[in-house]
Chains A and B, each alone.
Chain A
Amino acid sequence: MAPDDKFVIIGAGQAGGRAAETMRTQGFSGKVTIVGEEAYPPYERPALSKRVLTGEDEPDSTYVHKPTYYDEHQIELKLGVSAMTINRSAKSVSLSDGTSLDYTKLMIATGSQLRRLSLPGSDLAGIHYLRGIDDSLMIRAKLSAGAKIVVVGGGYIGLEVAAAARKCNCQVTVIEMMNQLLNRAAAPEIGAIFEAIHRSHGTEILTNTPVTGFEGDGHVQRVLCGDFKPIDADLVIVGIGIVPNVELASAVNLATDNGIVVDEQGRTEDPDIYAAGDVTNHPNVILGRRIRLESWQNAQNQAITAAKAMCGVEETYAQVPWFWSDQYDINLQIVGMPKTWCEVVLRGDIDALTFTAFYIQDGCVVAANAINNSRDIPIARQMIQRKIKIDTVALADPETSLRKLLKSFDA
């Protein structure tokens, strides 16, 4: 690494911020530039659907680093600017302000974009999506007591928004097209428990219900649900998933497959171009397959590994995927990302909402959901990582120490 090397990071999200930090902690003394579309320095998104949305926290609490950090570490932030094209042979990136940046190594950390509805009336005012700080602030300003809020999508974002809106004393309805909440991420028993939690907080939950359009005079007033009764709405918030921002990469023929295809160090097929965070399709040696993650953990840690590789330090990125969600007074933590499981073992006090659900496949723990029980998560992670054949009776018995159960395999 020479002092005149130039590292460019496209994307000023959590991954971009952690990558730049890592380049400096690795001793890289060349130029580091982060290009970001939004006006904010790199920030973490989880709180945007939680404490920022309720007004308990302000947006600057989400910043990866204090705004002064970047100057102090000679990291150039080019904010409010988009990367338009990559020129691989010239090794440069052209920007929306008409300038371009040369690079010796490039990181693409462009994250994801919202999946949007395309239905009759879906362009009416009052239909919102939640991805960035500005979205969170705009929705928060409208969560006034008594407002009729309709949430489309019963996944994590939808349920967190619903919980925040109830906290603001709004009337809340969640519409989910599938037959359970958290359909993509959790077992039916867990989806049912979250449905009960939301109902107990006064949120109306409609499963098996399609959204077919919106009506209103300029501003949304009703959500149409096919043959079902329309639902009155002052505000609609749509949370139906995200898709990776692969356009820059695919435009220059870098392989993409539900994400930019990278190796264990975040390297694309171009040895001078790396990618990290939501945007990558990467191998996970623990799971034995390629995955794309939409997670805080991956945005931080894959970015660190990829930035180290850019600095010549080779590590293998492989962690058991980990996620969390906060709804009302419930903290849900999830480890693992199983495709299938044959049994769910519950451990703890389900009525008191302090328990862990272990997902079992072929005698091994492949995932766990801890509800107000985060201390089980690191042990579950070890069980998943080490593919331990577990005695499910002992696992379900709260008298068994999980730690001792894990340690019994150390011999």
Chain B
Amino acid sequence: MADTDASAEWHRVASVGEVEEDEPKPVRIGETLIALYNIQGKFYATADVCPHEFALLSDGYVEGDTVECPLHQARFHIPTGKVLDPPAEDNVATFSVKVEGDDILVGIPKS
């Protein structure tokens, strides 16, 4: 995942104050559903839909830097999207995040 502005289209999705620690926020960019996380003041974004079955990770349970899917309790590492516990087998997609002033921006790879 590149952090450079050139490879991504940046979209403002929320203000800093809107994303509480341990309370992921669902946002969307076009058709893409995204979960936004605040881990000790640093922001991260993953795809919001669990790669196993349809459930929103933004409804999930955040503990440390992991999120647990509310449907089948698959667990993912938020910064990397890596799957930690079954039944999910695939990692969840992650997106670049940057903060400009009060704005949180998420980078979607240019297609």
Contacts and interface: CB of A to CB of B under 8 A. Distances in A.
Contacts of A184: none
Which one of B23, B55, B60, B72 has the highest number of Cβ atoms from chain A below 10 Å of its Cβ?
B72
A46 to B, nearest CB: 10
A300 interface: yes
Interface in B20-46: 22-23
B22 A378 contact: no
Interface in B63-108: 68, 70-73, 86-87
Given A322-B73, A374-B71, A375-B60, A403 B87 contact: no
Interface string B42-67: 00000000000001000111000000
B73 A297 contact: yes
A18 B61 contact: no
A375 B68 contact: no
Contact of B70 (A18, A304, A375): A375
Nearest to A69: B89
Interface residues of A, number: 12
A402 to B, nearest CB: 11
B86 A374 contact: no
A378 B87 contact: no
Nearest to B70: A374
A378 B68 contact: yes
A379 interface: yes
A75 to B, nearest CB: 16
Contacts of A300: 86-87
A377 B22 CA distance: 15
* Interface majority SS (helix, strand, loop, mixed), chain A: helix
B22 A403 contact: yes
Nearest to B71: A374
B62 to A, nearest CB: 9
B94 to A, nearest CB: 21
Nearest to B63: A378
A322 B68 CA distance: 14
Nearest to B21: A403
A51 to B, nearest CB: 10
A296 B73 CA distance: 11
A405 to B, nearest CB: 13
Contact of A379 (B61, B72, B73, B87): B61
A374 B73 CA distance: 11
Contacts of B73: 297, 322, 378
A18 B89 CA distance: 12
A403 B23 contact: yes
Contacts of A18: 86
A374 B22 CA distance: 16
Interface string A312-340: 00000000001000000000000000000
B55 to A, nearest CB: 8
Contacts of A322: 73
A56 B31 CA distance: 24
B86 A378 contact: no
A322 B71 CA distance: 11
A293 to B, nearest CB: 15
A375 B61 contact: yes
A374 B68 CA distance: 12
A41 to B, nearest CB: 15
B74 to A, nearest CB: 10
B18 to A, nearest CB: 16
Given A403-B22, A403-B23, A377 B87 contact: no
B70 A378 contact: yes
Interface string A297-308: 100100010000
Contacts of B22: 403
Contact of B59 (A296, A304, A375, A379): A375
Nearest to A22: B86
Contacts of A374: 55, 59, 70-71
Interface of B: 22-23, 55, 59-61, 68, 70-73, 86-87
6 contacts: A300-B86, A375-B59, A375-B60, A378-B60, A378-B68, A403-B22
Closest 7 CB pairs of A and B: A378-B61, A374-B70, A375-B59, A375-B70, A378-B68, A403-B22, A300-B86
